[in-house]
Amino acid sequence: MSKILSLFLLLFLFIGFQGVAQQKIVLVIDVGHGGRDPGNLAVGKKMINEKYLNLKIAKKFGAYVKKHLKNVKVIYTRKTDKYVSLEDRTDIANDNNADLFISIHCNSNPDTAIYGTRIHIHSEKNKKAVRFAKSIDNQFTTRAARKSIGVCDRRFRGYDLFVVKRTNMTALLIETGFMSNPAEEKYLNTTYGQDIIASAIFRGFREYIKKNLPKKKTRTKKTGLIYKVQISASPVKLSKSKFKHLKMKVDESYYKQNKYKYKYTVGNAKSFGEANKLRRKVAKKGFKDAFVITEKK
Ligand SMILES: [Zn+2]
């Protein structure tokens, strides 16, 4: 095996391992309040404080994710009735390089007639957060048949929410309903209501990751092989216009020690056949000497 080829293979293997290591989508479920911080206090008879409701809904949501989405790793900020500071909550998400963050809460208002779900994001300029919020909001109003009072950001609120501001990933804070509204408080206190809310969050989450977080390089894990087509190598950097007519994504790699420092490849195939097909295609478009690079363990 030539030196250049070995280098390539090492690089691909490295990328492959990264693919495997990063494969799981990391979801942090932040369970609002806890311990000495009860959140909103129960209003009706036999009703429970917000910190307990949050935990019940969050655990149901997490259980759905664990059961149905094997590619998602769930991390809770708390699983018991304990106090966790806001800094610790966001640290947990940031330190674990979470992809998504969902904080679970229950709302309250002096006006007991107000009810419905609300989803908070940091800024409407963050299109991912908007899509993520709307995906869940849509589930609340359709399948869960809840009333929604919408998605809102800091400009709408007029103040910042620490956990959605300080987290580095797409983050939501979900108010699952108003404890100050007697009917909604009752609903939130039933296993049925908690189930409906949790499954709506789950479905919205599932829909969002399906469309917006594509599976990360599962092919690498399955076969341990990557096939690419090298179309060119050059001692100097080539202009992209040279490959423009291919209408493909061309990857450039740089090797300081080699005479042909710049390598150009296309494709990221899981089989030789697939890569070879691609080689024939680029050969027809002028790259007659293109060849497939492969690695076998
Ligand atoms: Zn709360």
Q: How far apart are CA 131 and CA 139, in angstroms?
A: 13
Strand segments (E) across 108-195: 117-120, 148-152, 170-178
Pairing relation of β-strands 72-76 and 25-31? parallel
pLDDT band at 217 (very low <50, low <70, confident <90, very high): very low
**Most confident by average pLDDT, 121-125, 221-225, 289-293:** 121-125
Q: Residue 27 and residue 93: Cα distance in Å, rounded? A: 8
Angle at which helix 191-212 crosses helix 50-68, to 10 degrees, equals 50
pLDDT tens digits along 260-270:
899 999 998 88
Determine the distance separating the centroid of ligand 1 and the alpha carbon of 215, expressed in angstroms. Answer: 33
Give the pLDDT band of residue 22 (cuts 50, 70, 90). Answer: very low
Greater pLDDT, 209 or 212:
209
The region that residue 130 occupies, defined by phi over 0 for left and psi between -120 and 50 for alpha, beta otherwise, is alpha
Cβ-based burial of 32 (10 A; exposed 0-12, middle 13-18, buried ≥19): buried
250-254 and 227-234 strand pairing: unpaired
For the segment 32-49, what is each residue's pLDDT rounded down to a tens digit?
999 999 999 999 999 999
Per-residue confidence (pLDDT) for residue 276, from 0 to 100: 86
Cα 67 to averaged position of ligand 1 atoms, centre (Å): 27
pLDDT tens sequence across 122-135? 999 999 999 999 99
pLDDT for residue 131: 97
Question: What average pLDDT does the structure give for the chain?
Answer: 89
Report the separation in Å between the CA atom of 54 and the middle of ligand 1, taken as the mean of its atom positions.
8
What average pLDDT does the segment 282-291 reach? Answer: 90
Cα(53) to ligand 1 centroid in Å equals 10
Query: CA-CA distance, 171 to 128, in Å (whole number)?
Result: 9
CA of 162 to the centre of ligand 1 (A): 12
Distance 51 CA to ligand 1 centre (A): 7
Share of the chain above pLDDT 70, in %: 88
The residue among 295 and 125 whose pLDDT is bigger is 125
d(CA 131, CA 210): 12
Task: Examine the pLDDT at 161 and tell me if it is beyond 90.
Answer: yes
Q: Are 103 and 170 in contact (CB under 8 A)?
A: no
Which residues have CB atoms below 5 A from the ion given as ligand 1? 32, 39, 105
pLDDT value at 164 more than 90: yes
Predicted pLDDT at 13 = 56
DSSP secondary structure code for residue 8 in this structure: H
What's the 32 CA to ligand 1 centre distance in angstroms?
5
Enter the tokens of residue 215.
Answer: 């599976």
Residue 3 has what pLDDT? Answer: 64
> Is residue 74's pLDDT more than 70?
yes
**Per-residue pLDDT tens over the stretch 236-261:** 999 989 999 999 999 998 888 888 89
Instruction: Locate CATH 3.40.630.40 in the chain.
Output: 24-212
Ligand 1 centroid–CA 95 distance in Å is: 23
**Distance of CA 81 from the midpoint of ligand 1 (Å):** 14
For residue 50, the CA-to-ligand 1 centroid distance in Å is 7
204 to each of 85, 149, 212, how far by Cα in Å?
27, 17, 12
Nearest alpha-carbon partner for 84 in 67, 103, 66: 103
- The CATH architecture to which 24-212 belongs is 3-Layer(aba) Sandwich (3.40)
